[in-house]
Chains A and B, each alone.
Chain A
Amino acid sequence: MLERFAAGDLEAFEALFRQHQKDVFAWIVRIVRDRGIAEDLTVETFWRIYKSRSRFYPAGNFRAWARRIATNAALDHLRAARRETELPENLASGAAADPAVRRETREQIKRAFFQLPAKYRLVATLALIEEEPYDTIAEAVGISAALVKVRVFRAVRILRKKLNSLGAEVGAK
């Protein structure tokens, strides 16, 4: 099937799409945290996959390749969305948030987090919130696990500085 897809067979592409759309969506929605945007980006991901089908090596790992392209599509979205000031809808916000942390502090953290540079926000979301292993993130982003760790560390440092400058009570719990 992968060979037929690489040769441009639309039926093979449809079969791959149906087989992997759930996985791609699940990966993207955890990065962008908005179902509607994640659906659009899933389609965008497969559009990019279809366009670059001639570069796919049929003996390769389609899932890993698709996830890499999905990550890039999500990263492009985060870069564009960062220019806007509104916070994205958090799928798990509200009642699920820790009630021990003051609402104001939570809002400040969210705001600071969504203002992080896209490449830091992406790895921080996956590593700190979704608790994905560094190796998995590294493979999806196309960097080493050590660099993922560095980016997470920098993201936390930027957050700390932002929160301090906002005067957030980071000790309030």
Chain B
Amino acid sequence: MSNEGNNKEIKALLKAAITPVKDPELRRDLWPQMLRKLDEQPSRIPWFDWALAAILSAVLFFFPGAIPALLYHL
């Protein structure tokens, strides 16, 4: 049998073995679950913000002369 014919047969077998989901309806409101998830998540500071703060601190520590320049640009 050709590959094309074989592929059609595979598709037919797949459809016979795994049928479409009959009832995709949501049966309950998920908002309470969503609220719990929102409450569980602490407001986290991304790692790159910490990295930026560390780099800035190091620069200011080793080059204190940069502080007036930084203040000027803020």
Chain A interfacial positions (CB closer than 8 Å to B): 14, 17-18, 21-22, 25-26, 29-30, 33, 35, 39, 42-43, 46-47, 50, 90-93, 96-98, 100-101, 105-107, 109-110, 113, 124, 128-131, 153, 156-157, 159-160, 163, 170-171, 173
A96 adjacent to B31 (CB under 8 Å): no
B56 at the A/B interface (Cβ < 8 Å)? no
Chain A to chain B: the 8 pairs with minimum beta-carbon distance, closest first: A98-B16, A26-B24, A92-B19, A106-B17, A109-B17, A25-B26, A101-B16, A96-B19
Chain B interfacial positions (CB closer than 8 Å to A): 3, 6-7, 9-27, 29-31, 33-34, 37-38, 41
Q: Which residues of B sit under 8 angstroms from A101, Cβ to Cβ?
A: 13, 16-17
Q: Which residues of A sit under 8 angstroms from B38, Cβ to Cβ?
A: 47, 50
Q: Can you spell out 13 A-B residue pairs with CB atoms less than 8 angstroms apart? A: A18-B29, A21-B29, A22-B25, A25-B24, A26-B25, A33-B21, A39-B26, A42-B26, A47-B41, A91-B21, A156-B10, A163-B10, A173-B16
A39 adjacent to B30 (CB under 8 Å): yes
With A160-B10, A171-B9 in contact, do A42 and B18 touch (Cβ < 8 Å)? no
A159 adjacent to B10 (CB under 8 Å): yes
B13 adjacent to A109 (CB under 8 Å): yes
A17 adjacent to B34 (CB under 8 Å): yes
Min Cβ gap B4→A in Å is: 10
